[in-house]
Amino acid sequence: MNRQLASRILLQSSWQGALRRSFALSSSCRRFCTNVENHQRHSSTHHPNNKSHPISSSSPITSAATRYRPVSFYRLTPLSKERVEQLRKQIFDQLTTWGVVGRIYLAPEQGISGINCQIAAPIHMLPMVRQFFDGLDMGQIEYTEGLEDLDTPCFRKLRVMIKKNLVAIKDVLPANEIEIQKEQHLDPEEWHRQLSEKGSDAILVDMRNHYEYDIGRFDHAIKMDVDTFREGLDELERMMLARPDKEVYMYCTGGIRCTATSSYFANKGIGKNLKMLKGGITAYGQYIRQNPKEQSLFRGKNFTFDDRRGERVTHDVLARCFQCGAPCDVLHNCANTQCHLLFVQCDVCRTRMNKTCSDLCRQVLEGKRTWNMEYDYHRQIRPSLLCNE
Ligand SMILES: [Zn+2]
Ligand SMILES: [Zn+2]
C-alpha cells in the first residue's frame, strides 16, 4: 500500500483547514466519542477485582426463528454508585433471561452519569424490554429502533459495563449541570424542514469520528477533524463565536454526544444558537423510512457500534477503499490484533492483504515479521498515519 494514495484519499474526504491540524496531534487521547475502538480492542480483558469489568453473557438460547431488532437509547441522569451497581446486576439478569444481547454502559454521578444502551432484542420480547427499562425510574426514555430487523443479532453477547463517564468531557462539564435544552433539540421532522430550507447556508457540524463521517453524512456537513471530544468542543466554540448571529446545527449517531455538547455550551452561556438532531441519525433514518416521499438529506451509512458497523440509510457509497481507491463503505478492523485499525477495505483488497491494513501487518500476521510498535490511538483512527516503511 502506498502512502501517497492514503494521503490522497484523506485529502479528498477531509475538511479543509482541519487537515493541517490532523498532523499536529496531541499526545493526550481522550476519546472524541464513546470508546468503541478501545472497547473492541480490550473486550477480552477481564479482571476479577476491577469493578468496571463487564458482566457478560454468552450467546442466548433462542429458537432458530427468532428475529432481532436493534434498539438504542440513553438517559443522562444522576445515579449513585450503589444504584449503578444494583442496576448493572438487575439489567443483566433480566435481559439475559429474555435473550437480549448488546452493550450497555452505566456511569455514576461523580462523572457524566446515566445509561447508554445499544441492544438487539428478540422482537416478541420488545414490549417487555421497554416496560422493564421504563420501570427503572430513570425518567422518560425515548427509544430508537434500527432500520432493519435481523436474523442474527448484531451483538454476540450481552455486556453491561460501568464507566466513569458516558461522554468523555467530565473535566469540562459538572455532572449535575446536564440539562436538556428542549427548544434546541429538533426532532427529525423539524430538522429535515429547517435544513431543507437552508440548504448549503446552514452551518452543519458532524460531531462524530472520521471514519463515521467518511461512510455517511448529511449533505454540506462539516467534518470535525479532531482527535478528542474536547478539541471538538473548542472547534465548535470557535465556529459559534465567529458567527454569533448564525444558527449552528450539530448531529451524532444517537444524540448523546450532542446532548452533552449542548449542555456544555448552555452552561457557558454561548449556545443559544446551537441546535441538535434529537435521536441522532438513527432517528432521522427512521423518519426517512416512514416518509418515503421526503428525500433524505443524509446519504450513505450510519455507523453503528455493533457487528454491522453501519446501517444503510441511502444507497449512496461515499467512501473509498483505503488501499485501492475503489468505491466502498465497508469498515473492517485490521486482522493484526496488535494494530486493529478500523478502516474501509474492499473485498478484493481484503483477500489480497489477508484482512490487514498494510504490508507490515500482513507480514506480522503471517509470522514473517515481529510487531515492534506501541499502541497508538491516533493511528487507530487515522489510516493516513500508518507507518509503511
Ligand atoms: Zn480495495
Ligand atoms: Zn494493521
> pLDDT (tens digit, 0 to 9) for every residue of the chain, 389 residues total?
333 333 333 333 333 223 222 322 222 333 333 333 333 333 333 333 444 556 666 555 556 578 999 999 999 888 999 999 999 999 999 999 999 999 999 999 888 889 999 999 999 999 999 999 999 988 889 999 999 999 999 999 999 999 988 887 755 555 455 555 677 899 999 999 999 999 889 999 999 988 899 999 999 999 987 777 788 888 999 999 998 889 999 999 999 889 888 888 887 888 888 999 999 999 999 999 999 999 999 999 999 988 888 999 999 999 999 999 999 999 999 999 888 888 999 999 999 999 999 998 999 999 998 887 765 655 555 554 443 32
- Ligand closest to CA 335: 2
- pLDDT value of residue 21: 29
Ligand 2 mean position to 334 CA, how many Å?
A: 5
Ligand 2 mean position to 262 CA, how many Å?
A: 36
Q: Are 99 and 60 in contact (CB under 8 A)?
A: yes
- pLDDT value of residue 56: 66
- Ligand closest to CA 332: 2
Question: Which residues have a beta carbon within 5 Å of ligand 1, which is an ion?
Answer: 321, 323-324, 326, 346, 349
- pLDDT value of residue 116: 95
Ligand 2 mean position to 359 CA, how many Å?
A: 8
Ligand 1 mean position to 387 CA, how many Å?
A: 19
- pLDDT value of residue 174: 53
- Ligand closest to CA 342: 2
Ligand 1 mean position to 152 CA, how many Å?
A: 27
Q: List, in order, residues 6 or more apart from 146 with CB less than 8 Å away.
A: 69, 70, 71, 72, 120, 154, 282, 304, 311
- Please, what is the Cα angle at 314 between 310 and 318, to 5 degrees? 70
- pLDDT value of residue 180: 57
Ligand 1 mean position to 49 CA, how many Å?
A: 44
**Considering the entire predicted model, what is its pTM?**
0.78
CA distance linking residue 134 with residue 278, whole number of Å: 19
Ligand 2 mean position to 174 CA, how many Å?
A: 38
- pLDDT value of residue 155: 95
Q: List, in order, residues 6 or more apart from 386 with CB less than 8 Å away.
A: 1, 3, 6, 341, 357, 358, 379
The angle, 0 to 180 degrees and rounded to 10, between the axes of the packed helices 126-134 and 81-97 is 160
Ligand 1 mean position to 197 CA, how many Å?
A: 38
- Ligand closest to CA 360: 2
Instruction: Quickly tell me which residue has 452543519 as its cell.
Output: 204
Fill in the amino acid letter for 238: R
Q: Are 281 and 253 in contact (CB under 8 A)?
A: yes
Ligand 2 mean position to 340 CA, how many Å?
A: 6
Ligand 1 mean position to 114 CA, how many Å?
A: 41
Ligand 2 mean position to 320 CA, how many Å?
A: 17
Q: Nearest-CA neighbor of 189 among 271, 274, 273, 296?
A: 296
- Ligand closest to CA 323: 1
- Ligand closest to CA 322: 1
Residues recognised as catalytic: 252
